[in-house]
Amino acid sequence: MGIKTAVTNLLRGKGRTALTVISIAVGIFAITIISAVGKIGTDKINKTLDDMGINSVLVEPDSFTLDEKDVTALAELKGVNKTMPLMMNVTECRLINEESPCIAWGVNEDADEIISLNAIHGRLINKSDIENNSMVCVIDKDIAENAYKRSNIVGKKIEISLGGKEYEFEIVGVATSGLNSIQSMMSKVMPYFAYIPYTTVQNLCNSESYDKIAVSLSDNQNGDILKDIANVIGKSKGASTVTVNNLLGQKKQLDGILSVAASSLSLVAGISLIVSALSVMTSMLVTVNERKREIGIKKALGAKNSRIVAEFISESVLVCIFGCIIGFVSGAIVNILLCIILSEPLFIQTDILLSVMIICIIMGVVSAGYPSLKAAKTKPVDVLKSDL
């Protein structure tokens, strides 16, 4: 009966009630959208970082060189999944007289697992290429599309400068990796990538050492794995310091930054809820003044103060709940559209729904606190005097 009475009273001021509900809905909508965008953005960035191989570590030489013994020693560590020698040359490549900045990566047959390299045409570097120092390479689809306006150019030749000379390589595969999305956004400054057997790069550059060693960590690795890696290389080389870039740790730091950014934006959106709470309070104060005669008559007939307070609090809470539902449903619809547009899995943030619902109920009670107490203190005699 109390809810029915509250709804009836709210409908008496339809315009004011509608505006108050809308103000609350806008705040809830903003929080829902910001939370959804934050989650979608974080998931997408994390996926890109994982594809880039950022869930691994890189061992880099300082005053020493890295060789096959180091690769073998690291592979035997508990918690290490894969190890890969890595050569890197910042250079240029030429396709149909089209010169482009290029980074030539010397990799082995495990490149697909460590940097998530996926062949869309042809194949990737294999063990036979490594053993035979083959003059073959796998290129990014972006190089192919830039030169040939199509991605499948398996069998074509590409010239790459290594060690100050140009060499011709047969394209045995066209691939995509986690870096492609970064390249697409930064095509003006981001070079293309070519993947060559690391033994071929060593042979052409007259080098017996490795530039880096990429280490892929298993899921059950212990917390001291980085120290173990540094100790193994340090003892082998007699070095006091070893540079081990913990890309996984950097990813976690980035996750923290993204979470703080999302929380900060949600806090800004939450300020709009405070403004909405003030509008609810204002609306309730206006309602109290408009219904002063009604309140006086009820009290004259024996209505208790608690009943008057409960009546206005129930109206305030209903307004807040209606606004919450409208705002969350609107936000959920936009969230679903974003997921469809960005090809992300659909999700409903039930934790956000429960949180904002609780916040709205509390907000309704608090906002109606002063107006309801003011209504409860109304004296029937004062109302009668004001009518005279």
Residue 381 is predicted with a pLDDT of: 64
pTM of the complete model: 0.55
Residue 4 is predicted with a pLDDT of: 72
Residue 182 is predicted with a pLDDT of: 43
The band of 124, judged by pLDDT with boundaries at 50, 70 and 90, is very high
Residue 152 is predicted with a pLDDT of: 94
pLDDT higher at 377 or 103: 103
Nearby residues of 265 by Cβ (< 8 Å), 6 or more positions away: 34, 38
Residue 384 is predicted with a pLDDT of: 57
pLDDT higher at 47 or 187: 47
**How does pLDDT run across 245-292, given as a tens digit for each residue?**
765 555 566 566 666 766 776 677 677 777 777 888 888 888 777 777
CA 243, 248, 254, 256 torsion: positive or negative? negative
For the chain, give the mean pLDDT: 79
For residue 58, list its beta bridge partners.
Answer: 214, 245
**How does pLDDT run across 339-357, given as a tens digit for each residue?**
888 777 777 667 777 877 8
Residue 30 is predicted with a pLDDT of: 81
Residue 183 is predicted with a pLDDT of: 45
Residue 258 is predicted with a pLDDT of: 64
Nearest to 20 by CA among 216, 297, 281: 281
At 373, list the tokens: 């107490």
Residue 82 is predicted with a pLDDT of: 85
User: Percent of the chain having pLDDT more than 90?
Assistant: 17
**How does pLDDT run across 311-338, given as a tens digit for each residue?**
878 888 888 888 888 888 888 888 888 8
**How does pLDDT run across 40-67, given as a tens digit for each residue?**
766 766 665 555 555 578 888 877 888 8
pLDDT higher at 129 or 10: 129
Which range in 5-19, 34-48, 151-165, 204-218 is most confidently predicted, on average pLDDT?
Answer: 151-165
- Is residue 91 within 8 A of residue 181, CB to CB? The reply is no
Nearest to 231 by CA among 66, 114, 73: 73
Residue 55 is predicted with a pLDDT of: 58
At 234, list the tokens: 């340090």
Residue 49 is predicted with a pLDDT of: 56
Q: With 0-12 CB in 10 A as exposed, 13-18 as middle and 19+ as buried, what is 381? A: exposed
Q: Residue 295 above 60 pLDDT?
A: yes
The band of 153, judged by pLDDT with boundaries at 50, 70 and 90, is very high
The DSSP line for 187-228 is: TTTPPEEEEEEHHHHHHHTT--SBSEEEEEEPTT--TTHHHH
Q: Residue 39 above 60 pLDDT?
A: yes
Lowest mean pLDDT among 144-158, 201-215, 241-255, 327-341: 241-255
Residue 47 is predicted with a pLDDT of: 64
